[in-house]
Amino acid sequence: MSIGEVLAHLRVEFPDTTISKLRFLEAEGLVEPQRTPAGYRKYSWDDVARLRFVLTAQRDQYLPLRVIRDQLAAMDREQTGSAGRQRPALVAVGPAGEVPGRDAVDGPAAEQPGEVRLARADLVARSGINEGTLTELERLGVLVPSPSGWYDADALIIAQAVAGLAAYGLEPRHLRAYRTAADREVGLFAQLIAPMARQNDPAARARAAETARELVGLSQRLHAALLRVGLRETLGR
């Protein structure tokens, strides 16, 4: 298949995939399509399976490319010596070997932020918060609509999390610290990403997007671990 045909296959499941993204993954050594005498890329179903593995690991587990590369290399070593290469059934696993599901976040976990456009009433209905809570979240800057007034998938995730925390007695005013902490992280990470994002080279911009994805995943793991450590004394463990 040509790179355009591969893109058409993958966009069904990964709508934000681009030609530049596929070229970037090739440059990083995660897939090696054959080349015609004229230099055009030709992908096999094996290549498509590897790409699907990479994209799933990034989307669902936020795994760094080096971890994904190591997993693919291990799979390749296991296949060495077998009679012919069959289309592999690849499953992305976490750092400890677990196979995470996609149901960790209720609602739009499979939706990309840019794909979702919710009106105010829709956000309230789908998240479980009320109009007053949404107004307060916006006043505090915890949840912000787009300039056009729509809410995306991330806004829905935030609203659903707020609804869940409210069940334990936490109010919007208690969550302002989350926004402040996130803004500090954004400023820190932006210093790392901005030099790549400003370049005209599509590969550099793709690398900036991958770096942002990896930083978000690492930040989530660090935050969760710090919370567990901090609560051990309270739990008596």
| CA angle in degrees (0–180, nearest 5) for 130-132-138 | 105
- 87-126 pLDDT, tens digit per residue, is 444 444 444 444 444 334 334 434 455 567 899 999 999 9
Residue type, 141: G
In angstroms and rounded to an integer, the radius of gyration of the C-alpha atoms of the chain is 21
Element counts in the chain: helices (H) and strands (E): 9, 2
- 188-221 pLDDT, tens digit per residue, is 999 989 988 888 887 778 888 888 888 888 898 8
Domains within the chain, CATH numbers bracketed: 3-79 (1.10.1660.10), 103-170 (1.10.1660), 175-237 (no CATH)
Q: Residue 130: beta bridge partners?
A: none
Count the alpha carbons within 13 Å of 5 in the hemisphere toward its beta carbon. 11
**pTM of the predicted structure, to 2 decimals:** 0.56
